[in-house]
Each structure stands twice: as structure tokens, then as C-alpha cells.
Amino acid sequence: MATTRILERLGRLYIWLLLAFLYLPIIIMALMSFNVSPFYQLPFEWTTEWYASLWQNDQLISATWNSLEIAIITTIICVVLGSAASLALYRYEFRGKKILQALLFPPIAIPWLITGTAMLIFFFGVGIGRGLFAILLGHVALALPYVIVVVSARLQTFAPELEEAARSLGANQWQVTRRVTLPWIMPGVIAGGLFAFAVSFDQFVVSYFLSTPGQTTLPVEIYAAIRKGFTPEINAVSTIIIVVSMALMLLTARFFKFGGEK
């Protein structure tokens, strides 16, 4: 019994240390966004100056909106294409299917530095060049495999008998997909969409290679700001994004359980 209690306490200590390692830097960053000193000097003095300055920073605000727009469009495209591809891979057998499934993993495993270089060369070769449209295409290419993998994993738990029962009751293929299959895989679709949004919004390397002056995303703009001189305005915009992201995650968890039940 004594050994079991010691192991339990060590396990709890490990979990608390892990949580501290993950969240303590974020908490400190959020607190420093309210500190009057731009150099993080103590003692802490409360201020909202950096949030007021943030709204005057047109370049940072523009980059934030670019990131949000690209991430939302990337999520929509990847969810639609990824869900359709997952259903096709689940329902049909065709030549080269195993190869296509295997090719989903290299884009996830290949370093983004190599991927960004390859996209830059390819886009210039086909005449697309650099810019927000090129960034969008790059993000879709990076995020799409995540959606397909997540939705395909959800489909592995689907019982084909449900579709057969719906067809026996007179439902056509579209009705079967809309009323039987989609509700079942919806947790996977939402999880895949969250992955796609996170991959796009957080993407730096590909965005850095494909962006042009005046058309950048938030990660690229933060990197440029750090090189020129870090300001707490970056802490402010990062804190806002974290709060909004966590609120959306909590709402999603509240109204849609990922176990498949509403």
C-alpha cells in the first residue's frame, strides 16, 4: 500500500509539473501584457496601455486578420475535401488505394522548411508566385492530410450495417450520407477542422517563404517584430488569441462531445 501511495503521489507531481511546463509561460506572457514596463521590469504595475497601442498598430492588426481569414478558409476547404476523400477511401476499393493512403503521411512528416522551399519553387514555376493566395494553397496542402487521417480514424468505428439498414428503408445514397454517416463522423470532422485551423493559423515556415511585403500573416509579423525590437503589443495580441481560442474549445467541448454524443 505504501508503494502504491508513493507512486500515486509521484504521478500527480509529474502531471502538475507537466501542466506548469505547458501553461506557466503562457500565464507569464498574459500577465506581462498588462505590465507597464516594456522590458518586463518588476515590481508589476497594472496597465492596459499595450492593448490600446495594439489597436493603433495597423500592420499587426492586418497580419492578424490575414491569418484568421486564411485559417478559416483553409479549414472550410480541408473539411469539405478531407471528409469527401475519407468517405471515398472508406467506401470504395480501387487500384492504388493503399498507395494514396500511404502518401497522406509524408506531408505531415517532412520538415516544413523543405516543404516551404519546394512550394516556393513550384509556385513560381507555374506562375502563381507569392502572396496570400499562395499562402492559402500552401496551408491547404499542409492541413488536408490531418483532416483525412482524423476523419478516416473515426470511420473505422462506423458500423456499415447502419447504412445498409437505411437503404433497406428506402433511403438513397445522399440521404444515407446526410442522415446516417455524417452525424456519426461529425466528431472526427470537427476534430479535423480544429487541426486544420491550428496548422494554418500557427504556420510560420511556409507563410514566411510565400509571403510578400505588406501581405504577411501573424506568425511572420511577430517574427519580424522580434527582429526589429520586441514590444508588449505582441503579448497583447497573443493573449487575445489564446483567450478566444480557449473559449471556442470550451464551447465546442460543451455543446458537442467528441465521443459521438450530442
Q: Which helix (H) or strand (E) holds 173?
A: helix 173-176
Query: Mean per-residue pLDDT for 136-144?
Result: 92
- Per-residue pLDDT at 255: 64
Residue-wise pLDDT for 22-57, tens only, equals 888 888 888 888 888 777 777 777 888 888 887 888
Q: Print the SS3 string covering 81-141.
A: HHHHHHHHHHHCCCCCHHHHHHCCCHHHHCCHHHHHHHHHHHHHHHCCCCCHHHHHHHHHH
Residue-wise pLDDT for 155-206, tens only, equals 888 777 777 787 777 777 778 877 888 888 888 888 889 889 988 988 888 9
Chain centre to alpha carbon of residue 70: 11
What domains can be seen in the chain, in order of their start residue?
A: 57-255 (1.10.3720.10)
- Per-residue pLDDT at 81: 93
pLDDT grade for 94, boundaries at 50, 70 and 90:
confident
Amino acid at the residue 147: V
pLDDT grade for 260, boundaries at 50, 70 and 90:
very low
Percentage, residues of the chain above pLDDT 90: 16
Q: Name which residue leads in pLDDT, 119 or 104.
A: 119
Q: Which three cell numbers stand for residue 138?
A: 500552401
Distance between CA 46 and CA 144 in Å, rounded? 43
Distance between CA 236 and CA 240 in Å, rounded? 6
State the chain's mean pLDDT as an integer: 83
Residue 212 three-state SS: strand
Place of cell 505590465: 35
Distance between CA 141 and CA 242 in Å, rounded? 25
